[in-house]
Chains A and B, each alone.
Chain A
Amino acid sequence: MIVALLRTVILYLLIIAGLRLMGKRQIGELEPSELVLALLIADLAAVPMQDFGIPLLTGVIPILTLLCVTTILSVLTAKSQAVRTLLCGRPSIIIRNGELDQREMTKNRFTLDELSEELRIKGYTDLSAIKYAILETNGQLSVLPYAAQSPATAAQMGVTPPEPGIPLVLISDGTLFPANLKHAGLDDNWLRRRLKERGLSSCRQVFLLTVDEVGKVCLVPREKAG
């Protein structure tokens, strides 16, 4: 048991160190320690589940050990900048004032293709429009454009548009959600009128019907099966 406990701690720290060395690109959206925990717990739980010749404790003890170590590390991470840097790394500035930092890209093994792809996903095609692009510790790229290249906001234009809020789904794939209808302050008569306007007679003919807080309706009729 003590051997299993110590081995668990050693392997956990080793895998975190390994992932930190692999760089941010391999991590995705999780912090390194979270990814390690998810991978290890899944595997540790699977072994005693499959092999009845192994006592349950050999799975339970490493899992409890991991949870304890993770809790302690997460508190240390929150309290200490040094521990946070050690476990999660630092964000890397890939583009600074519109110029690529090739050293940072090499250090993070971040290729030009990957950078172009991330920028396209975020709607940027011109490097010179970007003030900063930062590779975060969770592997995501944050893009901050120059102020002159940023889309103008309603406040900057002196416009006060109505606040639409979150659209409520009233009908999804032919199924009516009466609770949402009531929550939006609407009733069956309103619903029948909206359907009739679009030449529909039943909820089953609707693929999607939403309404926002200002009463804007989005109705998508269901396509007839070919």
Chain B
Amino acid sequence: MRRVWAAAALLLLLITAALWNAGALTRLAGQLTQDLSLTEQAVQADDWDKAAQLAGQALDRWDRHGFYLHITLRHGDLQDIQLELSRLQECVELQDADQCAASVSRLAAQLNQLSRSEQLTLRNVL
């Protein structure tokens, strides 16, 4: 009977960890999307210094969660976002507003997809 309780406890722990992971990923995607949205606003306002600072902040935030993200998500998806974040920084440095807008739009879509793919929805389960 002890074994069944251990199995039930482990299963409960796995479910809790999985739900926490979905929540944590949604929060991270939300924070990054917020950073990117502010970056885009700064670009539109022609405030390139602030845009560079916000884009760097988004990249730092992404890098800080690098280990956690690599052990929970497909590496290919993460590399795509990493590359796009680097591309956004280049666009900001080159002060190319159109490319920045395109890059922010792509990143927002990728982050949204990443967060949605881990949510407990019938669509994902099926």
Contacts and interface: CB of A to CB of B under 8 A. Distances in A.
B8 A3 contact: no
Nearest to A10: B125
B73 interface: yes
Interface string A53-86: 1111110010011011101100100000000000
9 contacts: A2-B21, A4-B18, A7-B125, A54-B74, A55-B70, A55-B71, A55-B75, A56-B71, A71-B4
A6 interface: yes
Contact of A61 (B4, B18, B70, B74): B18
Interface on chain B toward A: helix, strand, loop, or mixed SS? Answer: helix
Given A2-B19, A2-B22, A3-B118, A68 B10 contact: yes
Interface string A1-33: 111111100100000000000000000000000
B17 interface: yes
Interface of A: 1-7, 10, 52-58, 61, 64-65, 67-69, 71-72, 75
Given A2-B118, A3-B120, A72 B19 contact: no
Nearest to A67: B7
Interface residues of B, number: 28
B2 to A, nearest CB: 10
A178 to B, nearest CB: 42
In the A-B complex, the 9 residue pairs with the closest CB atoms: A2-B18, A71-B7, A1-B18, A68-B11, A75-B4, A68-B7, A53-B75, A3-B124, A1-B21
Contacts of A52: 75
B117 interface: yes
Contact of B74 (A55, A56, A67): A55
